[in-house]
Amino acid sequence: MRNLREINSFAEGLEMTKVHNFSAGPAILPKEVIDQCISALQNFSGTNLSLIEVSHRGAEFVAIMDEARQIVKDIMQLGDDYEVLYLQGGASTQFLMLAMNLLKTKAAYTNTGTWASKAIKEARAFGEVDVIASSEDKNFSYIPKGFSIADDYDYFHCTSNNTISGTQMKDFPTCGVPMVCDMSSDIFSRELDFTQFDLIYAGAQKNMGPAGTTLVVIKKDILGKVDRQIPTMLNYQTHISKGSMFNTPPVFAVYASLMNLRWIQSKGGLSAMEQRNTEKAQLLYSEIDSNPLFKGTTAVEDRSFMNVTFLLEDENLNDSFLKTASNAGISGIKGHRSVGGFRASMYNAMGLESVQALVELMKNFKR
Ligand SMILES: *Cc1c(COP(=O)(O)O)cnc(C)c1O
């Protein structure tokens, strides 16, 4: 038996090895979720078989898929006019799939970053694409506003949170055509009126689950309007008609996503997530603004509450700051090469204490 002193020093040792995971994606998940996955990998739902070695047509997994689809509608407060799919191929496949299913003649896009640019490029294979607003002129450091969307577009596409540049749409335009949104990096992070969107998609690995599945939420009445032949696997109707089980679904990623969505609900849903995320973001941005060594990279009103991008005034100190961070157990804050400096991604599962650790480090960082 360990005595109290040994237990305490053991606990301190654990404390010292805690890693604060600021990775942009694949990203942090709640410890409870990881534990549930470990347990399901060993014994899934009382089967004495692993989650990843049972039939996806068995009652146990079918129940998981059904709940995983329903819980998204519950959290987003959507009705039966919407369908929820767990697909594969990442958000990157959605760039082409949504255009293939929705683009008849022309679509309107905003270009707010690297991912938006890729979505535009893919859509151009299927029709005319008008970039009706862009922030490319200033390295995507702001969200363009004040544009209007003509009624003759097949749809309007936007990116709610720009993972690389660190900007986020706080408001969405009123739109007389179907509104499609790439929410990969801020899905389930805040309260929104989700009924304003007709198609929402998100690679799970940022704020929803592990890599391997892509969430697609779709209002059914926008489908069936294009004349082209759509390959079976790339047709949303295929997956809708089979309850997201047309072919073998990514069982592990769906399971882990469901555990995380249950976690979100148990914590109080999107209003609780928004409160938590706002608190973390305010703490870090206020340090960036008050510490003379650092500066933000984006327009203040468009700052992302998920991916915080910032620079050192003296970029020669970058390596030294990264090294100090790594010694303090702070992981994943190196900025994307297109922005430089640092990026702290603070998805739902990150606790305030991790942001406090980063802020402490910034305060103490001296030349
Ligand atoms: C990461 C990301 C993507 C790409 O997702 P994949 O699942 O890797 O294809 C697309 N859009 C946004 C906003 C992202 O953050």
- Which pLDDT tens digit goes with each residue over 115-132? 999 999 999 999 999 999
Q: Residue 71: which pLDDT band, with cuts at 50, 70 and 90?
A: very high
Residue nearest to atom 2 of ligand 1 (CA): 184
Question: What is the reported pLDDT for 10?
Answer: 53
Strand order in the sheet with 106-111: 82-87, 214-219, 199-203, 179-182, 156-159, 106-111, 128-134
Distance 45 CA to ligand 1 centre (A): 31
Mean pLDDT, the chain, whole residue set: 95
The CATH topology of domain 34-266 is Aspartate Aminotransferase; domain 2 (3.40.640)
Q: Residue 20: CB within 6 Å of ligand 1? A: no
The CATH 3.90.1150.10 portion of the chain extends over 269-366
Indicate which residue of 186, 198, 206, 302 is catalytic: 206
Nearest CA among 235, 232, 253, 330 for reference residue 18:
330
Q: Residue 307: CB within 6 Å of ligand 1? A: no
- Which pLDDT tens digit goes with each residue over 294-308? 999 999 999 999 999
- Which pLDDT tens digit goes with each residue over 309-363? 999 999 999 999 999 999 999 999 999 999 999 999 999 999 999 999 999 999 9
The CATH 3.40.640.10 portion of the chain extends over 34-266
Residues in the chain: 367
Is the torsion defined by CA of 253, 203, 183, 339 positive or negative?
Answer: positive
Q: Residue 25: CB within 6 Å of ligand 1? A: yes
CA 143 centroid distance within chain: 18
Segments in the chain forming alpha helices (H): 4-16, 31-42, 59-76, 90-102, 114-123, 236-241, 251-266, 269-290, 318-327, 352-364
Q: How much is the average pLDDT of 98-112?
A: 98
Active site residue 314: no
Q: Residue 347: CB within 6 Å of ligand 1? A: no
Distance 31 CA to ligand 1 centre (A): 23
Instruction: Say how many C-beta atoms besides its own lie within 10 A of residue 234's C-beta.
Output: 16
Residue 14 has pLDDT above 80, yes or no: no
Instruction: Say how many C-beta atoms besides its own lie within 10 A of residue 355's C-beta.
Output: 22
What's domain 269-366's architecture?
A: Alpha-Beta Complex (3.90)
Active site residue 121: no
Which atom of ligand 1 is nearest the CA belonging to 92?
9
Q: Residue 92: CB within 6 Å of ligand 1? A: yes
Distance 305 CA to ligand 1 centre (A): 17
Residue 1 has pLDDT above 50, yes or no: no
Q: Model pTM?
A: 0.95
Indicate which residue of 154, 182, 198, 302 is catalytic: 182
Question: What is the reported pLDDT for 250?
Answer: 98
